């Protein structure tokens, strides 16, 4: 394959070079008398513009129509439906404007191509016309902007108190999700200085909210319920991108960002709709973050509310998975921590705690 | 780099043999290398810019090979790329990012800022305003040599073992600040920063010179309302440059301190490579604000000169006055001002204050209005013209077409709510490559074709120009138009491959089409290169005014010598767009022809000026002082 | 170069604007320097608004610096006036004095830095300290460049090239010097108010 390409490229080069040579030789043979402006080439260029216009515009419309389903990503969030509609409104407005100007411009190049003896119009300005095409785009843009700003205001507004909170943490080159746990429903504090090989979140175990937090390598979210995604990064910039939910927000080290959205279709519903039993929601990174930028995939599952609840309860807390870290829990909170984390209280631990006291 | 610099010497040397009667005696070094003549400096910028364009283009072909043919074995590139190929003959993912970064940096700064603005501002400002040279030839020379030094350093950074900068041309920290994060952020990034610091110095020296020259050195009668639109464009570009480049300098300076001296302007709470860094309290977003405060005006630094050049060429070759001269100047002025207050539209999803997002959406969409006005004015200039399709004219029409196609997608991206999905996808790539990259590149090409006769005293081959145009024009559309679809489908930019995702794994065919088109477009540039170099030496001798244009540069000899005009500098009496004036025999009246000589074509208010003309040069000055 | 000759062909007084290109160039250069400091002070404000900001008092010696630079502006202006009155000897004295005051300013700034270090405010650490060092340091570098310029003026004055007929060089230098003085006053007020 590559050989064919490279060979092809070389061949093209050679052919082009021959064309220059021949063209130049012909020019030399004809001599320098032929200095007259070449009307036939001028017409050829004008015709080329017409061909370009027809084929280009035709190809654009044909491809857009014929392959519509390939490039329109199904949408699965409430605000996504709104921004999509705004996108398509903008698309219609701009395509109409584009097509008109495109056709008019190339038509002019053809219609007013050089003719010997014709004199161009001395048409230097026309204030009415200029005001017209300043005001009309301004009004159209204003309408688009105001609609856009309303939507933007809703999307970036504060999340409701009942929203399901999930924390996404980006690092080179993977995502991690942290859930606040079923008992306190609050994310525990974190501190980047506490991060180590096991404590990947930098969980601060002096905060009692952290005991039932759990890590997940799959983003599970319930359908029809508002999600508040809190986002941070450990090393460099990353960006959460959930293409089907029209969600995108940078992950910034040292700053917490967030995005709220509501999923409208479970994974199962989407599979059915797309007639693709292998379909999965995905999350990607859209801010360049180094070598593995292209591979920061994180699976996303939208459950029904019941399935989600079931999944939540089946998860083990981070502290339970890493009982060694109990030593960082202040002694007076140890018991509470073990209960919250779901670690069975056995004698040895209580004895140790007592000894420390 | 050495090969590049041979050209200007040989080129200009050649001309001097052909009767440059304007005596200027200097030795070889002061005439061709450390020249203070604006025309030589312009050519130096042009040749260096073209060399960079080739390098930048080649880099893009390399990463297009990876994207279009992910399965291909690129082992045959081993002699060039060496260790940057994986054992399986694939481009290394980190090198891929380096390619993308260097492509962006080279094209934006070295080709479309220095190569375009440096070439044509230097060449045209003195010639079109009627000056012997720039205000300070010495500063002008320094400007080029700072640029050369900056180029040399950037070029060297391509070959160091840890690779060139690889964090994207926007060099967002922390990625660009931490060598642990990507190897390009080691020495490569240091060289990038040093090179850009020198580049900024070069750009400031140039801009100061351009503005000073335009304001102080215009010939008699050349009031601001009689300036060609090219000069307006260069003038405004230089102002934008003076105000925005220092901000990039500040951003880079703080980054240098973060990288080398341990400060925490942009760094905070970072755990990388198994250790927590001590930096706390910095904000990566701060860098983005500073960067885009330059970065967005930079878009217009790149675009305005191209628009100016196009205005001139479209009017000349339509044989019509440019439609709405005042509206054109006004819209450029408006764009220049607004370019400073829209920067944060690059940052809608960085988590910045949503209210700020609303403000920037509003301001961003306002900037679309003057841009639309410019397009309408170009189209109206074509209307009822008598259009001659010189290669320069073809490229200018191509520019308007790209400006339209790419500009219109800006309406999507400027709207913050719609931008959420499109941000950092191929939709953005398509948008800015058309509206800024290709449009400005076409402006540059148009300028080269149009002013080649004045630069080198010879003509380029028109037919090769047509071939070059059509291959490039269609090629560019085939490269960037499909990217809109890919972007709407959500494909993120700067991805080495999309196969890791089910959502993004489609469109292999479109990507292949894009890559093939990119290669063809790249190959087509060699037609130009051949046409250009060959005709510097062998081209048909050019007449002094081959396009029957009105501006002052065409009143100079075939190959203007040092000082540009033999004898006195012409005085200017009329605006630069008296094409096809009713009543006049010719279809153009140059700027230096007084109204008193053209009674048959004067408009009523112009007849009034004859009285002033009769009063001598002093009368003109009275009129001028108003400006 | 023959450049100078070329310029005389065009009659200067009839130019639409009569400003000397070099003077004008200096104004543009000052505009870009101003942008540099505006962007740094803006970054300072933006960063400060984000919290986690170390508060400390400015070194008291900055008051002395400010006084020095104000006095140096006066001596600079006197030098310029003397040049216009052809008082060449006084030009030399005043230019030299200004240069010395300039160096004194830089030394005073350096003492200010030492004071900061003594109070454990370092370049590396909280950005509030880093900003202070960078802003004052950049200003000091520009001031040093102005002192170098002054030395050129001094050299010209010894070669009898600064007098009522040749004021361009000293005028540009005076403008630059005043600019840096005003810039410092702005920075000092800014840094005092936005602690």
Shortest distance between the Cα of B626 and any Cα of chain C, in A, equals 9
Most confident of A34-48, A50-64, C110-124: A50-64
Mean pLDDT over A218-226 rounds to 95
Is residue A254 in a domain?
Answer: yes
Q: Which residues of A touch B357 (CB under 8 A)?
A: 152, 156
Q: Work out the pLDDT band at C46, boundaries 50, 70, 90.
A: confident
pLDDT in tens, B242-288: 999 999 999 999 999 999 998 989 999 999 988 999 988 888 999 99
User: CA nearest C135 in B: which residue?
Assistant: B250
Shortest distance between the Cα of B135 and any Cα of chain C, in A, equals 6
Query: What's residue A53's pLDDT?
Result: 95
Classify A203 as helix, strand or coil.
strand
Cα C111 from chain centre: 19
| Residues B335/B336/B338/B344 CA torsion (nearest 10 deg) | 110
Q: Work out the pLDDT band at A348, boundaries 50, 70, 90.
A: low
Q: Do A290 and B73 touch (CB under 8 A)?
A: no
Say yes or no to pLDDT of B565 above 50.
yes
User: What domains, with CATH codes, occur in chain C?
Assistant: 11-193 (1.20.120.80)
Is residue B552 in a domain?
Answer: no
Residue showing tokens 């260029």: A45
Q: Work out the pLDDT band at C20, boundaries 50, 70, 90.
A: confident
Mean pLDDT over A11-34 rounds to 62
Tokens of A286: 């859209």
Same domain, B470 and B498: yes
Shortest distance between the Cα of C40 and any Cα of chain B, in A, equals 6
Query: What's residue B11's pLDDT?
Result: 36
pLDDT in tens, C83-95: 999 888 999 999 9
Mean pLDDT over B518-534 rounds to 95
Query: What's residue A5's pLDDT?
Result: 57
Number of folded domains that form chain B: 2
Is residue B550 in a domain?
Answer: no
Say yes or no to pLDDT of B327 above 90.
yes
CATH of the domain at B123: 1.20.210.10
Query: What's residue A23's pLDDT?
Result: 63
Tokens of B300: 């217009």
Query: What's residue B13's pLDDT?
Result: 38
Beta bridge partners of B313: none
Say yes or no to pLDDT of B27 above 80.
no
Q: Do C24 and B293 touch (CB under 8 A)?
A: no
CATH of the domain at A300: 2.60.40.420
Taking the Cβ of residue C164 and every Cβ of chain B, the question of whether any pair is shorter than 8 Å is answered with no
Query: What's residue B304's pLDDT?
Result: 96
Same domain, B194 and B283: yes
Query: What's residue B585's pLDDT?
Result: 86
> Which helix or strand (DSSP H or E) is residue B141 part of?
helix B137-157
Query: What's residue B406's pLDDT?
Result: 95
Beta bridge partners of A169: A176, A232
Same domain, B269 and B375: yes
Same domain, B428 and B528: yes
Tokens of B409: 């997608």
Q: Work out the pLDDT band at B622, boundaries 50, 70, 90.
A: very low
pLDDT in tens, A92-127: 999 999 999 999 999 999 999 998 888 888 988 888
Q: Work out the pLDDT band at A55, boundaries 50, 70, 90.
A: very high
Query: What's residue B624's pLDDT?
Result: 38
B38-68 and B137-157 are packed helices; what angle lies between their axes, rounded to 10 degrees?
20
Whether residue A200 contacts residue A215, with contact meaning beta carbons closer than 8 Å, is answered with yes
Say yes or no to pLDDT of B143 above 80.
yes
Is residue A68 in a domain?
Answer: no
Number of folded domains that form chain A: 1
Say yes or no to pLDDT of B610 above 90.
no
Q: Work out the pLDDT band at B500, boundaries 50, 70, 90.
A: confident
Is residue B547 in a domain?
Answer: no
In whole angstroms, give the CA distance from residue A285 to residue B395. Answer: 38
Say yes or no to pLDDT of C186 above 60.
yes
Q: Work out the pLDDT band at B75, boundaries 50, 70, 90.
A: confident
Complex ipTM value: 0.89
Same domain, B221 and B80: yes
- Choosing from B474, B508, B538, the residue where a domain stops is B538
- Across the interface, which of B284, B357, B530 has its CB nearest the CB of A253? B284
Query: What's residue C65's pLDDT?
Result: 94
Taking the Cβ of residue C49 and every Cβ of chain B, the question of whether any pair is shorter than 8 Å is answered with no
B27 vs A215 pLDDT, higher one: A215
Say yes or no to pLDDT of B81 above 90.
no
Residue from B72, B509, B564, B354 nearest A5 by CA: B72
Same domain, B317 and B376: yes
Q: Do A94 and B181 touch (CB under 8 A)?
A: no
Taking CB atoms within 8 Å and a gap of at least 24, the contacts of B344-347 are B344/B289, B344/B292, B345/B296, B345/B413, B345/B414, B345/B416, B345/B419, B346/B288, B346/B292, B346/B295, B346/B296, B347/B285, B347/B288, B347/B289, B347/B292
Same domain, B201 and B124: yes
Q: Do B97 and A290 touch (CB under 8 A)?
A: yes
By residue range, what is the domain housing residue A313? 164-351
C127-158 and C88-118 are packed helices; what angle lies between their axes, rounded to 10 degrees?
160
Say yes or no to pLDDT of A31 above 80.
no
**Residue B72, burial from CB neighbour count under 10 angstroms (0-12, 13-18, 19+):** middle
Query: What's residue B85's pLDDT?
Result: 87
pLDDT in tens, A291-326: 999 999 999 999 999 999 999 999 999 998 998 898
Same domain, B450 and B562: no
Provide the edge-to-edge strand list for the sheet that holds A247-251: A219-222, A298-303, A281-285, A238-242, A247-251
Provide the edge-to-edge strand list for the sheet that holds A226-233: A214-216, A174-179, A164-171, A226-233, A257-262
Whether residue A299 contacts residue A281, with contact meaning beta carbons closer than 8 Å, is answered with yes
Is residue B320 in a domain?
Answer: yes
Same domain, B573 and B493: no
Say yes or no to pLDDT of B6 above 60.
no
By residue range, what is the domain housing residue B585? 557-624
A339 vs A239 pLDDT, higher one: A239
């Amino acid at each position: 394959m590559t050989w064919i390409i490279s060979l092809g490229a070389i061949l093209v080069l050679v052919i082009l070079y021959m064309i220059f040579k021949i063209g130049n030789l012909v020019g030399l043979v004809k001599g320098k008398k032929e200095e007259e402006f070449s009307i036939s080439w001028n017409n050829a260029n004008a015709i080329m513009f017409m061909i370009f216009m027809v084929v280009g515009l035709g190809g654009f419309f044909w491809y857009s129509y014929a392959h519509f389903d390939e490039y329109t990503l199904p949408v699965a969030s409430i605000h996504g439906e709104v921004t999509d509609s705004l996108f398509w409104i903008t698309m219609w407005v701009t395509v109409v404007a584009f097509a008109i100007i495109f056709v008019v411009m190339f038509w002019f190049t053809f219609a007013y191509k050089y003719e010997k003896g014709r004199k161009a119009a001395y048409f230097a300005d026309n204030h009415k016309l200029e005001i017209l095409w300043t005001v009309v785009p301004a009004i159209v843009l204003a309408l688009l902007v105001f609609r856009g700003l309303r939507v933007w205001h809703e999307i970036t507004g504060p999340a409701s108190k009942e929203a399901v909170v999930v924390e996404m943490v980006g690092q080179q080159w993977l995502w991690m999700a942290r859930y606040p746990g079923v008992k306190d429903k609050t994310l525990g504090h974190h501190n980047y200085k506490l991060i180590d090989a096991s404590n990947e979140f930098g969980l601060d175990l002096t905060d009692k909210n952290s005991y039932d937090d759990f890590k997940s390598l799959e983003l599970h979210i319930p359908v029809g319920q508002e999600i508040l995604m809190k986002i941070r990064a450990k090393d460099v910039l990353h960006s959460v991108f959930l293409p089907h939910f029209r969600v995108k927000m940078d992950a910034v080290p040292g700053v917490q960002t967030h995005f709220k959205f509501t999923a409208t279709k479970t994974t199962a519903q989407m599979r059915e709709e797309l007639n693709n039993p292998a379909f999965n929601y995905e999350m990607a990174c859209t801010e360049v973050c180094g070598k593995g930028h292209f591979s920061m995939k994180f699976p996303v599952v939208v459950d029904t509310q019941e399935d989600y609840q079931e999944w939540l309860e089946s998860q083990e807390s981070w502290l339970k998975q890493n009982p060694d870290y109990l030593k960082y829990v202040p002694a007076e909170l140890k018991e509470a921590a073990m209960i919250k984390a779901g670690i069975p209280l056995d004698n040895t631990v209580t004895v140790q705690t007592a000894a420390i006291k | 780099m050495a090969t590049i610099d041979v050209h200007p010497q040989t080129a200009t040397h050649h001309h001097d043999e052909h009767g440059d009667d304007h005596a200027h005696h200097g030795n070889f070094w002061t005439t061709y290398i450390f020249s203070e003549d604006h025309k030589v400096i312009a050519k130096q910028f042009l040749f260096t810019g073209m060399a960079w364009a080739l390098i930048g283009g080649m880099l893009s072909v390399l990463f297009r090979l990876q994207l279009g043919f992910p399965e291909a074995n690129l082992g045959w590139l081993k002699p060039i790329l060496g260790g940057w190929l994986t054992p399986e003959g694939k481009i290394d993912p980190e090198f891929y990012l380096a390619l993308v970064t260097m492509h962006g940096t080279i094209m934006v700064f070295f080709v479309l800022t220095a190569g375009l603005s440096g070439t044509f501002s230097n060449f045209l400002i003195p010639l079109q305003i009627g000056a012997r040279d720039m205000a300070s030839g010495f500063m002008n020379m320094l400007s080029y040599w700072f640029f050369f030094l900056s180029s040399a350093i950037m070029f060297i950074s391509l070959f160091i073992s840890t690779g060139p900068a690889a964090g994207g041309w926007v060099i967002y920290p922390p990625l660009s600040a931490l060598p642990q994060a990507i190897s390009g952020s080691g020495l490569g990034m240091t060289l990038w920063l040093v090179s850009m610091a020198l580049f900024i110095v070069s750009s400031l020296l140039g801009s100061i010179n351009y503005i000073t020259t335009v304001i102080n050195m215009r010939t008699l009668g050349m009031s601001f309302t009689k300036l060609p639109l090219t000069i307006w464009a260069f003038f405004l570009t230089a102002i934008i440059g003076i105000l925005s480049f220092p901000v990039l300098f500040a951003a880079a300076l703080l980054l240098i301190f973060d990288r080398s001296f341990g400060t925490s302007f942009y760094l905070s709470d970072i755990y990388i490579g198994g250790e927590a860094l001590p930096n706390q309290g910095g904000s990566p977003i701060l860098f983005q604000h500073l960067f885009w405060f330059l970065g967005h005006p930079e878009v217009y630094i790149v675009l305005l000169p191209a628009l100016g050049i196009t205005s001139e060429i479209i009017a000349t070759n339509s044989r019509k006055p440019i439609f709405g001269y005042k509206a054109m100047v006004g819209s450029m002025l408006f764009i220049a001002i607004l370019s400073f207050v829209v920067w944060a539209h690059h940052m809608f999803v960085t988590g910045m204050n949503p209210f700020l997002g609303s403000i920037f959406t509003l301001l961003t969409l306002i900037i679309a209005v003057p841009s639309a006005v410019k397009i309408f004015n170009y189209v109206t200039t074509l209307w009822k013209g008598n259009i001659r399709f010189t290669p320069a004219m073809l490229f200018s029409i191509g520019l308007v077409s790209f400006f339209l196609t790419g500009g219109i997608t800006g309406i999507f991206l400027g709207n913050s709510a719609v931008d959420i999905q499109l941000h950092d996808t191929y939709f953005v790539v398509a948008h800015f490559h058309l509206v800024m990259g290709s449009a400005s590149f076409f402006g540059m090409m148009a300028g080269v074709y149009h002013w080649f006769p004045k630069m080198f005293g010879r003509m380029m081959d028109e037919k090769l120009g047509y071939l070059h145009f059509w291959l490039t024009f269609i090629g560019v559309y085939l490269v960037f138009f499909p990217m809109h679809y890919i972007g709407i489908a959500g494909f993120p930019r700067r991805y080495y491959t999309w196969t890791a995702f089910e959502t993004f794994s489609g469109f292999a065919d479109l990507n292949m089409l894009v890559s093939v088109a990119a290669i063809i477009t790249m190959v087509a540039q060699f037609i130009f290169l051949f046409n250009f170099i060959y005709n510097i030496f062998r081209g048909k001798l050019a007449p002094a005014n081959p396009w029957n244009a009105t501006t002052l540069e065409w009143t100079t000899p075939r190959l203007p010598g040092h000082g540009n005009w033999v004898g006195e500098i012409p005085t200017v009496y009329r605006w630069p767009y008296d094409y096809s004036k009713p009543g006049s025999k010719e279809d153009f009246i140059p700027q230096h022809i007084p109204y008193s000589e053209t009674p048959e074509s004067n408009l009523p208010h112009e007849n009034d000026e004859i009285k002033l003309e009769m009063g001598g040069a002093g009368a003109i000055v009275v009129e001028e002082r108003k400006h | 170069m023959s450049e100078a000759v070329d310029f005389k062909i065009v009659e200067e007084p009839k130019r639409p604007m009569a400003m000397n290109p070099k003077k004008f160039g200096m104004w543009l250069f000052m505009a870009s320097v101003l942008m540099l400091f505006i962007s740094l002070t803006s970054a300072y404000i933006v960063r400060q608004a984000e919290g986690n900001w170390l508060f400390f008092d400015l070194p008291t010696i900055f008051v002395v610096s400010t006084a020095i630079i104000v006095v140096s502006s006066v001596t600079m202006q006197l030098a310029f006036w003397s040049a216009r009155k052809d008082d060449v000897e006084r030009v030399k004295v005043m230019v030299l004095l200004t240069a010395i005051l300039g160096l004194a300013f830089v030394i005073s700034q350096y003492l200010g830095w030492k004071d900061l270090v003594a109070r454990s405010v370092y370049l590396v650490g909280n950005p509030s300290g880093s900003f202070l060092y960078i802003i004052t340091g950049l200003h000091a570098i520009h001031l040093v460049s102005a002192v170098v310029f002054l030395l050129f003026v001094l050299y010209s004055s010894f070669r009898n090239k600064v007098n009522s007929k040749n004021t361009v060089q000293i005028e540009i230098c005076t403008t630059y010097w005043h600019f840096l003085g005003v810039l410092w006053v702005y920075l000092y007020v800014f840094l005092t108010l936005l602690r």
